[in-house]
Structure 1
C-alpha cells in the first residue's frame, strides 16, 4: 500500500466518521496526507486529520479520532490504529499491505515516482544564461546541474516545461569580446575592458580558420563578432551537453532587437500607464511595484538599456503561452529580483507568475585550499575544470545536494573518494549492490518468480526499506512544488542507507546448498524495487546508475 492509497483510506474513514457522528462533512479537505512518524514504535504512518477538522466541525478531536480509528481499523491492509495525544492517528499496516509496494514499483519501472501534482502547468524554466563571451564558470556549473535537475523533477510531476537559455548576444560585452578576438588575431594587446585567457587565442584562431579572409574583410570587427559568438556558443552548447544538461531553446537577445520587440514592449507598458519621460530619458515606474528605484528603458541618447531587453524578453515568454516563469539567478544578481518582479506586475501579471530562485556561491577546495584558477579562462574556474577534477556524476550530484540558498564548499578530495564519505559514491554503490544481487541470482538460477508473498516481509529492516521506497513519488512531488531538487539527492542517500542495512541483516539469496524459499523470492522483489527507485532518483539528478563499481 502506498502512502497516497493509505491517505485516501484515511479520508474515506473520516467521511464515514463524520456521517456516524452527524457532522457536516463540508469542512473536510478534498485531499489529505500521511507521514512517517520519527519513532517506528508509533506505527508505520501518522495522520492529524482529526485535529485539522474537529474544531471546524464543532466536536472534540480525540472523540473524532476514535471514530475515525474505528472505521480505519476495519479497512483492508490496516493492522491497527492507535490514538496518541489529543487526536493523532498512528497507523500500522499489515505486512502484506506494506510489502505490496515492491511489486508495484517493479511493474512501474522507470515511471515510478512520476506524479500529476503539476499537471496542466505550462512553465518556462530559464537557467545558466551565461554571456557567450567565455566558458561557463563554477557558478554556472551549479545552475546547470540544479536547473536541469529541476526541469526533470517538474516534468516528472506533470508540468509541460520548456528549459531555456537566454543568449546575451547584444550589448557592450559582446563588442568587448569581438574587440578582444580581433586584437589577438592581429597580435595586438588586449584592449581596455577586453577578455583574457587562452580561450580568446583559441577562438581568434578558429575564426581565421573559418574565415581566412577575416582580417581583410570590409569590416573585420563584425566578422570576428559574428563568427566569435557562433564559436563560443557552440562551445557552451557542447560543454552543457557533456554535462548532461539539456535546453529546449537557446533564445537570442539580438533577435528581440531585430524583430522590434523592445518597441512593442515599450508600447504595451505605455498603454498600461507605467512609462514616463524625465531628464531626456524614457523610464518605467517600477517603484509602483515595490522596486527600490525607477528604471530607464531608453537613455538620453535614445539607446535601449539592458532593462528594456528584459522587459521585451518577459513579454515574449508570456506571449508564447507560458503561465509560470521560473528564473534561476546567481548570488551576484540579487539586486535583479525587485526589478524583474516589477516587470511582471507592470505587464499586469499576478504575483507568483514569475518565480526567481537565487543561488549562492560555489567554493572549490583541494587539500583544504582554494582550487587552482583556469589558464584557459584567465581568472575563473570553469565548468570543465570542475568536471576534470571530480567527474560529471560527482559534479552534478554535489551541485544539487544542497538547497540553492546555501553556499557550497566542494572538496575535491571528498568527491573523488571511493568510500561512503563520498555521497554520490554511496548512492551509486547501493545501486550497484542491488544489480549485483540480481545478477548473482540469475547466474545461480534463483528466480523471484511472477509474484511473491508480501506477508513474508516482516523483518524491521524490510519494513524500513519498504516505507522508504513508498515515499519516492511524494518526495518528487514536493521537490517540484518547492523547486528544491536537492530533496531527491537527500532521499537517495536515505534510501541507500536503508538498503545497506537491509542487505546486512536480511539474507537475500540462499546458501549454495539450500533451496530457494518464498522468503528469498520476496526479498529479491524488494531488491529489484530498490534498484528501480535508486536508478530513477539518480536519473532525476542527471547522474548515472552503474551496475558494477
Structure 2
C-alpha cells in the first residue's frame, strides 16, 4: 500500500463517517496527509487529521480519532489502529499491504516520487547569471548545482518551471572586456582594470579568425567588432561548461535587449502608473521605501542614463508579463543587499512579496588545494573542478548541504572510493543492487513466476530489515514534495544516504538468490526469492530517481 492509497482510505473513511452522521462536517479536505512516525513502535503511518478537523466537527480530537479508528480497523490491509496523545492516529499495515509498495514502485518506475503538490505553479527560476566577460568559476559552481537540482524538484512536484540565465551584457564592463581582447589582439597588456587570463588571448585569436583585417582597422571601428565576436564565443563556452555540468537553461535573457527594445522605458511608465515613481533632483526615482526598502532607488539618473536597478525593474516586469506567477532568484552571498530592493520592486509592481517573489541567498564554498587557473584569469574555474573532481562528486556534495551553510570541500574525500564518501556510498548502493539483480537472474530468479502471474507475494516480505527498507522507500514521495516546498534539495541527498544504509543492512540479512546446501546443491527458486527481487529492484528505482533529482548519475557497475 502506497502513502497515497492509505491517504485515500483515510479520506474515504472520513467521508463515510460524515455521511453516516457520526461526524458533523460540511466539507471533506482534498488531501489527508499521512506520515511516517519517528518511532516504528508507533506503527507504519500516522495522521493528525483528527486534530485538524476537531474544531469544525465540534468534537474533541480524541473523540473524532476514535470514530475514525473504528472504521479504519475495518479496512482491508490495515492490521491495527491506535490513538496517541491528543488525537494522533497511528496505523499499522499488515505485511502484505506493506510489501505491495515494492511492486508499486517497480511499476511506477521513474514516476515514483513525483507528486502534484505544486501543480498550477508557473515558476521562473533564475540562477548562475554570470557575467559574459570570463569563464564560470567556483563562485558559480554551487548555484549551478543547487539551481538545477531545485528545478528538478519543483518539476517533480508538478510545477511548470523555466530555468533562466540573465546575461549582464550591458554597461562599461563589456567595453572593458572588448578593450582587453583588442589589446591582446595587438600583443599589448590588458588595460588597467581589464580582464587577465589566457582565455582573453584565445578570444582575441577567435576574433582574428573571423576578421583577419581587424588589426588594420582603427580602434573605434575594431572595438565593437571585437566585443561582439568575443562575447558570442565566451557565451558559447559558458553554455558548454554548463551542459558538461549537467545544467540546462531554457532561456537566456540579455540585459542589452531590455535596453534596445524599450522595455526600460515601459517599466518606468508601468511603475509610474502604479503611483510609486516620482521625479526628484532631475532624476527619476522609485519610492521603494513605500514597500520596506531602506532607501528609494534611482531609475533614471539626472543625465538621462538608466541605472542598473532600472534594468532589474524591466527584467522583473518582463518575467511578470511572460506569465510567471512565481519568480525565484538564487543569489550569491555578496547579494544580501538585493533582497530588500527586489522585494520592494515586486511590491511596487503590484505583486505579493510573500508569494510572487522569493530570493535565496547562498553561502560561499571552497575546495581544499584547488589551484588558480592561469588560463581562466587567476580564478578557480568550473571546468577545472569538473576535470579534477568529476560532475557527480561536485553536484552531490553541493546538493547535500543547505544553501545558507558555508562548505569547505575535501577533494581527497570526494575522490575516495570508501563509505566515508557520501556520493560513493549512495552510488555503490545502486550498483550493488543492480549487481544483486544480475546475480539473481543468473541463478534463475525472475520477477515473474510460473503459476501466479507475477511470483510476487508481498506478505513474505516480513523480515525486520525488509520492514525497515520498505519504510524508507515509502517516505520518498513525501520527501520530494517537502524538499520542493522548502526549496531544500539537500533533503534528497540525506534521504538517499539513509536509504543506502537500509539497503546494505537488508542485503546482509536477506538473500535474494536461493541458498546452497552444504553438499553444494542449490535450493529451488521460491516466491520469497522473487518477492525479494521485487524489493531489490524497487530500491534500485528509488535510488536512481533520487540521484536524478540531484543531477547525479546512477552507475550500474562500480
TM-score bin (small chain): over 0.9
Q: Distance in 1 between matches of 2:286 and 2:85?
A: 57
Range 299-308 or range 61-70, more displaced: 61-70
Question: Deviations 1:454-485 (Å, cap 9, x if unpaired)?
Answer: 01110111111112112212211112222222
SS of corresponding position for 1:26:
coil
Question: Deviations 1:375-427 (Å, cap 9, x if unpaired)?
Answer: 22233222123212210000111111111111111111111110111111111
Which residue matches 1:121?
Answer: 121
Deviation at 1:16, TM superposition (A): 4.0
SS of corresponding position for 2:26:
helix
Deviation at 1:499, TM superposition (A): 0.7
Range 260-269 or range 48-57, more displaced: 48-57
Map 1:24-173 onto structure 2 (within 5 A).
24-26=24-26, 29-173=29-173
Q: Is the 8 A contact 1:27 1:57 kept in 2?
A: no
Which residue matches 1:532?
Answer: 541
Deviation at 1:20, TM superposition (A): 5.9
Deviation at 1:39, TM superposition (A): 1.6
Q: Is the 8 A contact 1:217 1:223 kept in 2?
A: no
Which residue matches 2:292?
Answer: 290
Map 1:134-213 onto structure 2 (within 5 A).
134-213=134-213
Question: Deviations 1:161-191 (Å, cap 9, x if unpaired)?
Answer: 1111111111111111111111122222221
Range 101-110 or range 59-68, more displaced: 59-68
Which residue matches 2:524?
Answer: 515
Q: Distance in 2 between matches of 1:23 and 1:91?
A: 20
The aligned length equals 545
For structure 1, the 5+ residue unaligned runs are none
Question: Deviations 1:208-235 (Å, cap 9, x if unpaired)?
Answer: 2232222223511111111111111011
Which residue matches 2:429?
Answer: 430
Range 213-222 or range 96-105, more displaced: 213-222
Q: Distance in 2 between matches of 1:466 and 1:136?
A: 42
Which residue matches 1:248?
Answer: 250
CA RMSD of the aligned region, Å? 1.6
Range 266-275 or range 243-252, more displaced: 266-275
Question: Deviations 1:102-124 (Å, cap 9, x if unpaired)?
Answer: 11111111121111222222221
SS of corresponding position for 2:298:
strand
Map 1:391-540 onto structure 2 (within 5 A).
391-449=390-448, 450-512=454-516, 513-540=522-549
Map 1:7-26 onto structure 2 (within 5 A).
7-17=7-17, 22-26=22-26
SS of corresponding position for 1:175:
helix
Deviation at 1:503, TM superposition (A): 0.4
SS of corresponding position for 2:436:
helix
Which residue matches 2:519?
Answer: none
Q: Distance in 1 between matches of 2:62 and 2:484?
A: 35
Q: Distance in 2 between matches of 1:350 and 1:501?
A: 48
Q: Distance in 2 between matches of 1:379 and 1:334?
A: 25
Q: Distance in 2 between matches of 1:62 and 1:479?
A: 31
TM-score (norm 1): 0.96
SS of corresponding position for 1:98:
helix
Deviation at 1:149, TM superposition (A): 1.1
1:362 aligns with 2:365: yes
1:338 aligns with 2:337: no
Q: Distance in 2 between matches of 1:2 and 1:11?
A: 14
Q: Is the 8 A contact 2:294 2:340 kept in 1?
A: yes
Deviation at 1:248, TM superposition (A): 0.7
SS of corresponding position for 2:266:
helix
Map 1:370-409 onto structure 2 (within 5 A).
371-409=370-408
1:544 aligns with 2:547: no
Q: Distance in 1 between matches of 2:28 and 2:119?
A: 23
Deviation at 1:511, TM superposition (A): 2.5
1:271 aligns with 2:273: yes
Q: Distance in 2 between matches of 1:278 and 1:379?
A: 43
Question: Deviations 1:132-185 (Å, cap 9, x if unpaired)?
Answer: 011112121111111111111111122121111111111111111111111122
Deviation at 1:361, TM superposition (A): 0.7
SS of corresponding position for 1:241:
helix
Match of 1:317 among 316, 319, 332: 319
Q: Is the 8 A contact 2:444 2:525 kept in 1?
A: no
Q: Is the 8 A contact 1:61 1:87 kept in 2?
A: yes
Q: Distance in 2 between matches of 1:475 and 1:395?
A: 22
Q: Is the 8 A contact 1:28 1:53 kept in 2?
A: no
SS of corresponding position for 1:335:
helix
